[in-house]
Amino acid sequence: MADGNITKDAMYDAVAPDDFESMLEVDRYNARTPAFDKIIAATHDHFWDPLDKRYIDFSEPFDMENEALVPDEFFPALETDYVKSKLADPKDRIRFINESTRWSLSSILHGEQGALNLSASLCHVLKDQGAQEYAANQAREEARHVTAFAQYIKARWGTPMPCGPVLKDLLVEIIGAPEVYKKIIGMQMLVEGLAMGAFATFFVKTNDPLMKKLMQLVMTDEAFHHKFGKIWADRTVPKLDPAEHNIVEDWAAHCFQTLLFNLVGPHQQRAMYESFGMDPDIVMQELTVLATDEARREDMKEATNIFRVLIKTLLNAGIITDRTRAFYGMYVDMEELKAEGERMVGDDIADEGIAYLKTINFRTPSVTSMMAAE
């Protein structure tokens, strides 16, 4: 494969997806990077099973008719005069919030499916044994996230909503990209960064104890997935020549702009708005007036804002230069962000979750687990 992968470290050497013969090279079996060994070895610390009630019980009830899953502030459309006029009945307002949450969590479910497929696709192209084992390990963890979100959505609504066209197009583009850098930046850094921001926000704000537990359990895995992208950036970005850096920086900006301006727009949720008798075009017009850049920047000062996490990820990775700094600077104080250091929103929540999981995983094995091992 021509090095459109922009490979700067041997552990990211890749072949074409249909080039299995290269995986049979004898010398390859003795070439293994230790860079991912700590992440792989820590897997048992944050193991959890979404179908085991010791970890999470999806039968826990919630009054969907009379209680909102999340606060109003999650959905800026609720501030428009048009939406307010359509939701004069408090129960309609609650139903709108909960259906909007259904759409958000359905998007997360589709994103987790994308992460599962992308991780599996990396197993087909990465030659290094350590990188390949890491990707296989992440695929396993993403599979349980798909199960977990599917179970939560089933418990609260029955079925998920379809994937929005913008998110679908981005996932298809990332997963189908032959270039490894596109996969790692697009999924491991940006979509995973988006996920960590979203999970942290839901964890802090939700009124549903079951959702809160789910978010924390998923974050115990995602915190490690995010590190894979950081390792790539540390090994790759400093070695890029100017032309290569421009390619990487432009791809990151493309992904970020797609997520920022389109992911949660009313046009992506047309069917849901129409089910409430609303025209998403009118909602968008009123949101455009409300959501000025100044207002969005003020909102992004909140540590759990999902797009703030994306910018911090790119900044810490050294991907953002003066070429795009002004673009990101419209929405966040870049100097303030840089001064915050390496810790990401959600890291503390994940650490607490791992401590909880250790109290379950390192007890005497249950009869069920011993039978499963036979």
> Once rounded to an integer, what is the mean pLDDT over residues 88-102?
97
Answer yes or no: is 9 within a domain: no
- Tens of pLDDT, residue by residue over 40-56, are 998 888 999 999 999 99
- Cβ–Cβ < 8 Å for 237, 319: yes
Burial class (CB in 10 A: 0-12, 13-18, 19+), 15: middle
β-strand partners of 360:
none
Q: What is the domain range of residue 334?
A: 58-363
- Name which residue leads in pLDDT, 249 or 74: 249
Answer yes or no: is 36 within a domain: no
- Cβ–Cβ < 8 Å for 206, 321: no
Instruction: Report the pLDDT value the prediction gives residue 369, as an integer from 0 to 100.
Output: 43
> Once rounded to an integer, what is the mean pLDDT over residues 280-308?
70
Instruction: Report the pLDDT value the prediction gives residue 370, as an integer from 0 to 100.
Output: 36
> Once rounded to an integer, what is the mean pLDDT over residues 350-357?
90
Is residue 310 pLDDT above 70, yes or no? yes
Model confidence band, residue 137 (pLDDT cutoffs 50, 70, 90): very high
Is residue 1 pLDDT above 60, yes or no? no
Summary mean pLDDT of the chain: 87
User: Based on the structure, what is the number of domains in the chain?
Assistant: 1
Backbone angles phi, psi at 58, to 5 degrees: -75, 0
Instruction: Report the pLDDT value the prediction gives residue 142, as an integer from 0 to 100.
Output: 96
Answer yes or no: is 24 within a domain: no
Between CA 139 and CA 204 the distance in angstroms is: 27
Model confidence band, residue 139 (pLDDT cutoffs 50, 70, 90): very high
Answer yes or no: is 1 within a domain: no
Instruction: Report the pLDDT value the prediction gives residue 313, as an integer from 0 to 100.
Output: 84
SS (HEC) of 49-88:
CCCCCCCCCCCCCCCCCCCCCCCHHHCHHHHCHHHHHHCC
- Tens of pLDDT, residue by residue over 295-306, are 655 654 554 467
Is residue 96 pLDDT above 60, yes or no? yes
- Tens of pLDDT, residue by residue over 327-350, are 888 777 788 887 887 777 678 888
- Tens of pLDDT, residue by residue over 227-240, are 888 889 999 999 99
Range with the poorest average pLDDT among 127-136, 210-219, 298-307: 298-307
- The CATH number of whichever domain residue 131 belongs to comes to 1.10.620
> Once rounded to an integer, what is the mean pLDDT over residues 122-126?
94
Answer yes or no: is 114 within a domain: yes
- Name which residue leads in pLDDT, 295 or 142: 142
Under DSSP, the state recorded for 161 is P
Between CA 203 and CA 346 the distance in angstroms is: 9
Model confidence band, residue 374 (pLDDT cutoffs 50, 70, 90): very low
- Tens of pLDDT, residue by residue over 5-16, are 788 888 889 999
- Cβ–Cβ < 8 Å for 180, 5: yes
H-helix segments, 187-342:
192-205, 209-236, 242-262, 270-275, 280-290, 293-299, 306-316, 322-329, 334-339
Is residue 289 pLDDT above 70, yes or no? yes
